[in-house]
């Protein structure tokens, strides 16, 4: 009958090299001395044999996955021409005040629908939609300043606007 005893590993790795990792780049220490220039990062460092783990390399697949927008307003579920209206309007909604972004989005979508309905047989291109959406944003700001300032400055000249201020 034989008994086997498992001996603990040699403190220096058994091959003359110190076991541990670099104090700078945290890669495996490959030198025979405890201090020296690391062969990985080429900087003066020392061998760390603490119980802390060496730096782990993360692959890109471990990053946090993008989730669907939980604050979705439901317009992205539309189909056909309404989805096109939404895509055009969503590019302009940031141009309003934060509390009015959804209102402006809705106004642009409705304005585009009415404009296409009244368009007749003329082509209703995406460029036309952007032009109409831009006008809806201008109308929004015009109405906003009219309510807040009590003035309707869109008919004033630049000289008259300077006098009002």
- Which pLDDT tens digit goes with each residue over 101-115? 999 999 999 999 999
Could you tell me if 43 and 97 lie in one domain?
A: no
Long-range contacts of 47-56 (CB under 8 A, 24+ apart): 47/18, 47/19, 47/20, 47/21, 47/22, 47/23, 48/20, 48/21, 48/22, 48/23, 49/11, 49/18, 49/19, 49/20, 50/20, 54/21, 54/26, 54/27, 54/28, 55/21, 55/25, 55/26, 55/27
Q: For residue 80, give its domain range.
A: 75-164
Rounded Cα–Cα distance for residues 162 and 165 (Å): 5
User: Has residue 3 been placed in a domain?
Assistant: no
> Does the pLDDT value for residue 9 go beyond 60?
no
> Does the pLDDT value for residue 24 go beyond 50?
yes
What is the predicted pLDDT for the residue at 120? Answer: 81
User: Has residue 4 been placed in a domain?
Assistant: no
What is the predicted pLDDT for the residue at 55? Answer: 62
User: Has residue 67 been placed in a domain?
Assistant: no
> Does the pLDDT value for residue 15 go beyond 50?
yes
Tell me, yes or no, if the pTM score tops 0.75: no
Could you tell me if 145 and 90 lie in one domain?
A: yes
pLDDT band at 22 (very low <50, low <70, confident <90, very high): confident
Which tens digit of pLDDT belongs to each residue from 66-99?
665 556 677 778 888 999 999 999 999 899 999 9
Rounded to an integer, the average pLDDT of 156-163 is: 79
> Does the pLDDT value for residue 58 go beyond 90?
no
Instruction: Identify which has the larger pLDDT, 95 or 3.
Output: 95
Rounded Cα–Cα distance for residues 22 and 134 (Å): 59
- Name the domain count of the chain: 2
């Amino acid at each position: 009958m034989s008994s086997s005893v498992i001996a603990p590993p040699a403190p220096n790795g058994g091959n003359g090299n110190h076991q541990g990792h670099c104090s700078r780049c945290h890669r495996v220490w490959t030198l025979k001395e405890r201090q020296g220039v690391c062969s990985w990062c080429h900087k003066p460092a020392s061998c760390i044999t603490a119980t802390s783990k060496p730096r782990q390399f993360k692959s890109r697949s471990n990053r946090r996955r993008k989730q669907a927008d939980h604050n979705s307003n439901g317009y992205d579920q539309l189909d056909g021409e309404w989805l096109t209206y939404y895509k055009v309007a969503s590019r302009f909604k940031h141009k309003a005040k934060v509390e009015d972004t959804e209102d402006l989005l809705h106004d642009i979508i409705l304005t585009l629908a009415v404009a296409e309905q009244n368009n007749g047989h003329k082509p209703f291109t995406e460029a036309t939609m952007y032009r109409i959406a831009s006008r809806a944003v201008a109308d929004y700001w015009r109405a906003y300043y009219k309510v807040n300032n009590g003035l309707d400055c869109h008919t004033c000249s630049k000289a008259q606007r300077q006098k009002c201020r």
